[in-house]
Structure 1
Amino acid sequence: MVGLSLSLLLVVVGLAWRALDDPYVATPGGSAAPTARPGQAALALADLEAAIERGDAAAAAALAPSGDADAADRLRAVVENAEDLGLEGVTLRYVDQDGGTDPTGAWQAVVDVTWQIAGFDPAPARSEVLFALRNVTEPTGDRVAVTAAGAAGGRAPLWLSDDLRVRRTDSRVVAVAGSQRDLARYDRLARLALPVVREVLPEVERRLVVEVPRTAAGLDAALDADEGTYADIAAVTTSPDGEVREAGPLHVLVNPSEMGRLKQVGAQVVMSHEAAHALSDAPMSRAPLWLVEGFADYVALRDVDLPDTEVAAQLADQVQENGLPDDLPGPAELGVGAPYLGASYEAAWLATRELARAGGEDALVELYRSVGAGDDLDAALRDVVGLSRDELVARWRDAMRSLAEQADAA
């Protein structure tokens, strides 16, 4: 995909001369092969942007090829999604052609898109998105029609790529590419997650945004990841454009395949975990990953009435099979696709619970915040919790040993 590395001058010049006189390549039969029309594409995108700003779904649908009801419905949904979500600052700027033009005149363009959920996102998201276009000839003249926004093969923000059900309140926005029943389920999970987080972090200012694609592949597309990357992940908290930055937007994106197989308690723990990430700006944290993930699980599990042997069943199995680990889990153990990922998350949770038991919950929160802001972990452990790192690891290993013994006796 051609990125934004093209200079503005080249883009402007390219648009100008192509709009005036589209180049063509003569075929052996003497007819002109279809070519991209950047100038007309830029005009179509400007019209779509204006339709989104006005909330004019009919005007957006008119940008589809005549007679293409599916494309018209997709464009109508884009406007309705934007209105339901409360988007502002939407811009669509043509960047370049992606690939060739097929014999029907269909081609793809890279489009620089900005958007922001008003009142929820502290700053706009910005991403390059593939749009599917087609050169069409109609009684009124030649134009470029839009057939799909968020086309296959690139990043596909959910509001551009699917028809959404949306619930927006003062505290949360939940957008689901599914049924009204799906929306009710995920909205309930989000609603219940908020007080769980605020019980531990009462001062958080962010509000919660949850997006649920239709499929696991839709999650990969929304995250611009290879298909299958997040197949085993129930949810992830990140920026909607893939660029995590200070004071940027953060959304919880759900894998409906994984979340759908969980029972109510498990699904709630996942949503509360991700809400803890989102509301505490965890993706920007400079703390070690075991503390970031363990803290989110501590928040989510704090008031769940389950025995340790059930909460950390995978960890107990690993200890029984392979013995006690020597050190706290690192990025290799906690990364997407890592073997025994569930056990590693449980190990991180157990470490944070030991911190809370040693110094109290307030000390755990202070440690999480100070180390996340860049303070030295070893120094903060001593000053805030009253433990050295070696002492923490020793307590953590003792807790794992006890856990494995309880599981063995059960």
Structure 2
Amino acid sequence: MLSRRGALLLAAGSFALLSPPVRRPPKAAPAVPPPVRPQLEALLTARSAALLRRDGAALTALAAPEAVPGELTLLARLAELPLAGLGYRLTGVGEPTVGGGESGAAVERVSATAELGYRVDGVDAHPALLGRRVEFVRSGGRWLLASDEPAGAVALWDLGAVRVVRGARSTVLGLGEPGELAKTAALADHAVPAVSEVWGSGWAGRLLLEIPASEEQFAQLLGVKAADYQGIAAVTTAATGPDGQSAADRVVLNPEAYAELTDLGRRVVTTHEATHVATRADTRAWTPLWLSEGVADYTGYRSTGRTPRQIAPELAKDVQAGRLPAALPLDSDFTAGAVGIAQAYELGWSACRLIAERYGEPRLTAFYRAAGAAGPTASRDQWLDGLLRAQLGVGLDAFVKEWVAELKRLFGG
């Protein structure tokens, strides 16, 4: 059925030709704004260059008016930090939105996520990486930075002005007084050769340490809950480099827990963390935590003159009470806040001590490197059994029996 309009047109056709439509020039296509992402990338590149040059004028010219005070604060906080490189990589860009600004006028905004990479001069071969949330506003036909906030772990400069102390083999970044940072640098300088005695010189031979002002800030630097890491004196973090071997290692200290340690305790903790840095190239996701934490404690306590009972008091109590391990510790036993985490560390130390004492330190380091060289192809226990047989000439069951017997001998169980 024809519509009424169709019927009228058909009737008109019996009397005369319909007038042709009036031809009008085609409408110009609406101007398509250039893609947003390249503009934002160019802005972040220019901002990174301004930060590296410590160029306040260039930095603030790239910022929205409300962001200028924060940019100047950032510049002041970075004043002492020797940056060899800094750059952003956009990982996600939202759709532009329009909303009211402070003046009531419509303002176009874009939110994005980015990866911030930075290198400390004389320390980092590859960038340390941090997630960021970045917001931009369009003003005068161009995009400006509105905010740059952490998404997860924070940077030390997010928390305050970074002070820098250089040691002979260390760089310490902190928010405290230079005198306290210098004490930590001295401990780090001592730790480096102590670690190299066991693990050789095939690592950077230099440490970068970060010291926030509180336990809460310590957790923020790690991007974790403070309650889960309460009492933990230090953690080593790293971003693996493009070759899969080198890394941007940071030893992050918990100032509250670290301050409660004796001088010897601080020395042991610093050497423990330095061992993680030295063994980074040989450590893989499949490396058992009893082994990685065990060798770190073994190296940390080596040459301290401490007895096994002094090193492993919780383990000594368990053995004397007849609570003997049936197997090597699981990775889950080392989870922050886990019940029995102290015993897990002491068990790992005792297993690595046994290898070093009975088979020699070179066998311990070779065993560790072999563990990282090839991951499990069967079950983890089968893999570990084969590894022990190849490196020490003893299977897993026999090693565990030997280890338990050694615990009885050490602690009188």
TM-score range, shorter chain: 0.7 to 0.9
* CA shift digits 1:65-89 (9 cap, x unpaired): 66989624532135425xx333325
Point out the more displaced range, 45-54 or 96-105: 96-105
Distance (whole Å) between structure 1 residues aligned to residue 119 and residue 185 of structure 2: 20
Displacement of 1:114 in angstroms is 2.2
**Counterpart of 1:339?**
339
Correspondence list, 1:145-160, <5 A: 146=146, 149-151=148-150, 154-159=152-157
Distance 1:322 1:155 in 2: 43
Alpha-carbon distance change, 166 to 392 in structure 1, aligned in 2, over 3 angstroms:
same
- Distance in 2 between residues matched to 1:231 and 1:354, nearest whole Å: 30
Structure 2 CA distance, aligned partners of 1:54 and 1:125? 19
| Cα distance, 1:107 vs structure 2 | 9.1
> Are the equivalent residues in 2 in contact too, given 1:309–1:316 (CA < 8 A)?
yes
Using the alignment, how far apart are the partners of 1:98 and 1:244 within structure 2? Answer: 35
Alpha-carbon separation, structure 2, partners of 1:170 and 1:95: 41
- Residues 167 and 182, structure 2, Cα contact 8 Å, conserved in 1: no
Alignment correspondent of 2:173:
175
Gaps of 5+ in 1: 1-13, 19-37
Indicate the structure (1 or 2) with the bigger Cα radius of gyration. Answer: 2
Counterpart of 1:212?
211
Partner in structure 1 of residue 133 of structure 2: 130
* Equivalence for 1:235: 234
How far apart, in 1, do the equivalents of 2:46 and 2:152 lie?
22
Match of 1:273 in 2: 272
Percent identity of equivalent pairs:
28
Distance 1:92 1:195 in 2: 37
Q: How many residues align?
A: 367
Q: Distance in 1 between matches of 2:141 and 2:403?
A: 73
- What is the one-letter code of the residue matched to 1:303? S
Matching residue of 1:88: 85
CA deviation string 1:241-285 (max 9, x = no partner): 899953332222222222222121111111111110111116436
**Contact 2:175–2:213, Cα closer than 8 Å, also in 1:** yes
Partner of 2:199: 201
TM-aligned CA deviation for residue 373 of structure 1: 1.4
Which range moved further: 122-131 or 390-399? 122-131
Task: Please say if residues 359 and 386 of structure 1, whose CA atoms lie closer than 8 Å, have aligned partners that are also in contact.
Answer: no
Q: Structure 1 residues 64, 189: CA separation in 2 closer, same or farther (over 3 Å shift)?
A: farther
How much has 1:349 moved relative to structure 2?
0.4
TM-score, length of structure 1 as denominator length? 0.75
Asked whether the equivalents of residues 216 and 228 of structure 1 are also in contact (C-alpha less than 8 Å), the reply is no
Report deviation, 1:176: 1.3
Superposed displacement of residue 166, structure 1: 1.6
Describe the SS at the equivalent of 2:247. Answer: coil
The amino acid of 2:351's aligned partner reads A
Q: Matched residue of 1:262: which SS? A: coil
Structure 2 vs 1, CA of residues 332 and 142 (structure 1 numbering), >3 Å: closer, same or farther?
Answer: closer
Deviates more, 1:192-201 or 1:44-53: 44-53
User: Could you tell me which residue of structure 2 aligns to residue 28 of structure 1?
Assistant: none
Q: Equivalents in 1 of 2:167, 2:33: separation in Å?
A: 42
Query: Offset at 1:58?
Result: 5.7
Q: TM-score, normalised by structure 2?
A: 0.75
Q: Secondary structure at the match of 1:250?
A: strand
User: 1:189 offset after TM fit, Å?
Assistant: 2.1
Q: Which residue of 1 aligns with 2:352?
A: 352
Matched, 1:387 2:399: no
CA distance in 1, matches of 2:95, 2:269: 38
Partner of 2:323: 323
1:76 aligns with 2:39: no
Contact 1:61 1:75 in 2 (8 A): no
Show the counterpart of 1:294. Answer: 294
Alignment of 1:259 onto 2:258: yes
Which amino acid is the alignment partner of residue 337 of structure 1?
G
Aligned to 2:116: 113
Q: Which residue of 2 aligns with 1:365?
A: 365
Query: CA shift at 1:299, angstroms?
Result: 0.7
Mapped to 2, the partners of 1:383 and 1:241 lie a distance apart of 29
Contact 2:86 2:118 in 1 (8 A): yes
Structure 1 residue identity aligned to 2:84: L
Tell me, in whole angstroms, the C-alpha distance in 2 between the residues paired with 1:150 and 1:190.
31
SS in 1 for 2:264: helix
